[in-house]
Amino acid sequence: MSQEIWTAVERYFAQSLIAADPIQEETLRTNAGSGLPGIDVAPSEGKFLHLLAKIRGARRILEIGTLGGYSTIWLARALPADGSLVTLEVDPKHAEVAAANIGRAGFSSVVEIRLGAALESLANLAAEGAAPFDFVFIDADKPNNSGYLEGALRLSRPGTVIVVDNVVRDGEVVDAESGDARVQGVRRLFARMAGDARLDATALQTVGSKGYDGFALAVVR
Ligand code: SAH
Ligand code: DHB
Ligand code: MG
């Protein structure tokens, strides 16, 4: 069992359960054409995030790590008409490509892209007294994961759902001695989650077109 079959099953699920999606197909084409790395969530994962946000009844969503806005658009689609989404991105080129994709998808007035280092943007949001978010998706630079969790918690309330991408990394997460700063970032995230009485959490491993990886899921008590 390996990559080829994981990709085939993912394609089968997507063909079965996800309606033809010319807008998101164009998003992925635009991202690739603009030279962005192909590290957007997979379509079935994007719809999974969309459904989680819907189940939560999210009206305010926070995303950390925009890239070209592929996951942003999936999440924005879960919002009610008066909902809003703030997404944090450090790379101006990524933010520019995302703005175009988000505009084409019809969410320019729903999504605010905040350009800058996400730890700073999180501190700014807190300082501005931003209303709490109902759903948070953490998917930026992995070494800062625990800092992002901390920042997200300051912008949360009871019932807020926090999802973190890429917590398995081909299984490297179990290597306590890993010299990879991204793996250590994920391990600090788990330590932080485990040690926080406000969080009720689990994690799931995934396979698919993006390889072997996984999501952490937490709810604020
Ligand atoms: N969520 C996107 C993928 C995000 S990829 C999707 O699934 O479609 C990770 C993104 O985080 C990249 O665009 C990268 O530029 C951004 N990033 C990396 N370090 C960051 C930082 N310190 N602050 C904010 N964004 C950062
Ligand atoms: C990386 C980041 C991601 O968000 C992802 O989904 C896959 C890989 C990375 O930085 O390598
Ligand atoms: Mg990711």
Instruction: pLDDT tens for the chain, 221 residues: list them.
Output: 799 999 999 999 999 999 999 999 999 999 999 999 999 999 999 999 999 999 999 999 999 999 999 999 999 999 999 999 999 999 999 999 999 999 999 999 999 999 999 999 999 999 999 999 999 999 999 999 999 999 999 999 999 999 999 999 999 999 999 999 999 999 999 999 999 999 999 999 999 999 999 999 999 99
Q: Is the CB of 39 under 6 A from ligand 2?
A: yes
119, 50, 121: which is closest to 83 by C-alpha?
Answer: 50
Give the distance (Å) from ligand 1 centre to CA of residue 46. Answer: 15
Q: State the DSSP H helix or E strand holding residue 51, giving kind and residue range, or none if neither.
A: helix 43-56
| Residue 63: predicted pLDDT | 99
Ligand 2 atom with least separation from CA of 40: 6
CATH number of 3-220: 3.40.50.150
pTM score: 0.98
> Residue 193 burial (CB < 10 Å; 0-12/13-18/19+)?
buried
Ligand 2 site-directed mutation target among 48, 166, 207, most atoms within 8 Å of CB? 166
Give the distance (Å) from ligand 3 centre to CA of residue 214. Answer: 9
Sheet holding 84-89, edge to edge: 111-115, 84-89, 60-64, 135-138, 161-165, 211-220, 199-208
Q: Which two tokens stand for residue 35?
A: 């030279």
Q: Is the CB of 139 under 6 A from ligand 2?
A: yes
Give the distance (Å) from ligand 1 centre to CA of residue 85. Answer: 16
Q: Is the CB of 90 under 6 A from ligand 1?
A: yes
Give the distance (Å) from ligand 3 centre to CA of residue 140. Answer: 7
What is the b/e burial string over 140-154, where b = at least 16 CB atoms within 10 angstroms of the residue's CB? bbbebbbbbbebbbe
Give the distance (Å) from ligand 2 centre to CA of residue 82. Answer: 31
Strands 211-220 and 199-208: antiparallel
Cβ neighbours for 54, distance < 8 A, ≥ 6 positions apart: 78
Give the distance, in angstroms, between the CA of residue 220 and the centroid of all CA atoms in the same chain: 17
